[in-house]
Amino acid sequence: MRKVIVTGGAGYIGSHTVVELARAGFTPVVVDDLRNSHRSALKGMSELIGSVPSFHSVDCLDLERLHEVFKLEGEVHGVIHFAAYKAVGESVAEPLKYYENNLGSLVNVLQVMQWRGVGALVFSSSCTVYGQPARMPVDEGAPDHTASSPYGYTKVVGERMVRDAVRANHTLRSVLLRYFNPIGAHPEGHIGELPIGAPGNLVPFLTQTAVGLRKQLVIHGSDYDTPDGTCVRDYLHVVDVARAHVMALDWMDQQAAPLVETFNLGAGEGRSVKEVVELFEEVSGVTVPKVYGPRRAGDVSAIWADSSKSRRVLGWRCEHDLRSALRDAWNWQLALQATMARK
Ligand code: UD1
C-alpha cells in the first residue's frame, strides 16, 4: 500500500488524480482547505473509486497542522503538490497573494517531507515557465525561462525551490510536471471543473456561457501573430494529465535518489481560441454568444508542447483528443445544471 498525500486533492486536476491513484492501487490522502474547491468533489471521487478517500481540511500554509496530517497518516510514500492559485490575470492584479500562497505552501510541504523522511514529490508546474518560447514545439530544455505573469513566476521559483531542496536532501526524488492546458472532465461523470465565481479559463467560461450562466464569451485578442489572430494553446484532457502523475510516481520508484526531472504534458498540437470555440459549438450544438475584446495581460501568443520525453521515459501519451475533452466538459456542465435545477 503506497500512501500518497495529495495537496489540493479536491481541486480540478487534484480530484482526477486522486481517482487515477486509487484505481492504480495507491492510497490517496486528500489535503485541501476547500478555499477554491467544493466538498462535493469528495463525493464525486468516492463514487468513482467506490470508497471515501481520507480527507484533511488543512491549509498548507499552516505548517503545524500540515505536519499533524503526516503524523496522523503514518507511513507516507509520496506527495503530489497541487495546492496553489492559478489564474494568470488575477496574479497580475494581486501578485503578493500568489507569492505568499504558492511559494509558502511549497516551503511547508518540502519542510514536512524532510522532517518525516518522505522521499518522492510530484510538483504541479506549468508551461507558463517558458514564457513565449522562441521555437515551437517547446521542449524541457528550452532556455531563458521568463514567465509572463506572477502566477508563472511562482512556478519558475517553485521548480527552483524543489531543485535546491533535492540538492540539499540527497534522499529526495522529484518530478516536475509542466502542464499545458488541461481541460475536460471525467468521462464517467461525477467530477469536473468547479470554478468559484466567474471562471478565468477558456473552457469553463465557454460551457457556462453555452448554458446561459454568462452573457457572452470575450475572446481576448484577435491581433496576435497567429493564423487567425487569436492565441494558440495546447489543450489536453484532464484525465491524461492525472494519469501522468501515477506514471511519474511509478517511474520515481525505480530511480535512485537524489533525482529531479522535468516533463512536459501536452497533446503536441497548437489550437487557436477561435478553433476551440468552433469545435465546442459543433460538439454541443450550441452557438455561443461571443465578442472580440482586447488582449489579456500576461498572455503569450502561442505555445504548444514537445512531449516526446514524457512518452520516451514515462511511457505517457494522450489517450483522449480535443473533441472528447470538449464533449466531457460539456456533459459535466449539463450535469451541474441538472443538479442545480433539482435543488
Ligand atoms: C495558463 C498556463 C497554463 C496553466 C493555466 C492555469 C500559459 C501559456 N498557460 O493557461 O499552463 O495551466 O494558465 O490557469 O501560461 N481566453 C479567452 N477568453 C476567456 C478566457 C480565456 O479568450 O474568457 C483565452 C486566453 O486569452 C488564452 C486561451 O483562451 O489565449 C486559454 O486561456 P486559459 O484557459 O485561461 O489558459 P492559459 O492562460 O493559456
**Separation of alpha carbons 171 and 260, rounded Å:** 11
* Of the candidates 229, 108, 119, the residue with the CA atom closest to the CA atom of residue 169: 119
Question: How crowded is residue 319: how many other Cβ atoms within 10 Å of its Cβ?
Answer: 11
Identify the pLDDT of residue 261.
Answer: 98
Cell matching residue 233: 494553446
Instruction: Using the mean position of ligand 1's atoms as its centre, give its distance from the Cα of residue 258 in Å.
Output: 34
**Separation of alpha carbons 280 and 272, rounded Å:** 12
Residue type, 83: A
Identify the pLDDT of residue 250.
Answer: 98
Contact (CB, 8 A) for 30 and 253: no
Quick check: is 235 catalytic?
A: no
Annotated active-site residue in 98, 130, 151, 179: 151
CB of residue 207 inside a 6 A radius of ligand 1: no
Q: What are phi and psi of 225, to 5 degrees?
A: -80, 65
Instruction: Using the mean position of ligand 1's atoms as its centre, give its distance from the Cα of residue 168 in Å.
Output: 35
* Of the candidates 31, 40, 24, the residue with the CA atom closest to the CA atom of residue 6: 31
Residue linked to cell 499545458: 180
Question: How crowded is residue 6: how many other Cβ atoms within 10 Å of its Cβ?
Answer: 28
Give the residue ranges of DSSP H helices in the chain. Answer: 12-23, 40-49, 63-73, 88-93, 95-98, 104-116, 150-168, 202-210, 238-253, 273-284, 308-309, 322-342
Identify the pLDDT of residue 31.
Answer: 98
CB of residue 220 inside a 6 A radius of ligand 1: yes
Instruction: Using the mean position of ligand 1's atoms as its centre, give its distance from the Cα of residue 201 in Å.
Output: 5
Taking the CA atoms of residue 285, residue 286, residue 292 and residue 298 in that order, the dihedral angle to the nearest 10 degrees is: -80
Question: Which atom of ligand 1 is the closest one to the Cα of 152?
Answer: 15
Angle between helices 322-342 and 273-284 (to 10 degrees): 60
Question: Which atom of ligand 1 is the closest one to the Cα of 300?
Answer: 8
Identify the pLDDT of residue 342.
Answer: 83
**Separation of alpha carbons 276 and 306, rounded Å:** 20
Identify the pLDDT of residue 269.
Answer: 97
* Of the candidates 188, 332, 172, 319, the residue with the CA atom closest to the CA atom of residue 252: 172
**Residue nearest atom 35 of ligand 1, based on CA coordinates:** 201
**Separation of alpha carbons 86 and 123, rounded Å:** 14
Residue type, 47: E
Contact (CB, 8 A) for 181 and 235: yes
Cell matching residue 243: 494519469
- Digits of tens for pLDDT over the chain (343 positions)? 899 999 999 999 999 999 999 999 999 999 999 999 999 999 999 999 999 999 999 999 999 999 999 999 999 999 999 999 998 888 989 999 999 999 999 999 999 999 999 999 999 999 999 988 989 999 999 976 777 789 999 999 999 999 999 999 999 999 999 999 999 999 999 999 998 889 999 999 999 999 999 999 999 999 999 999 999 999 999 999 999 999 999 999 999 999 999 999 999 999 999 999 999 999 999 999 999 999 998 789 999 999 999 999 999 999 999 999 999 999 999 999 998 888 7
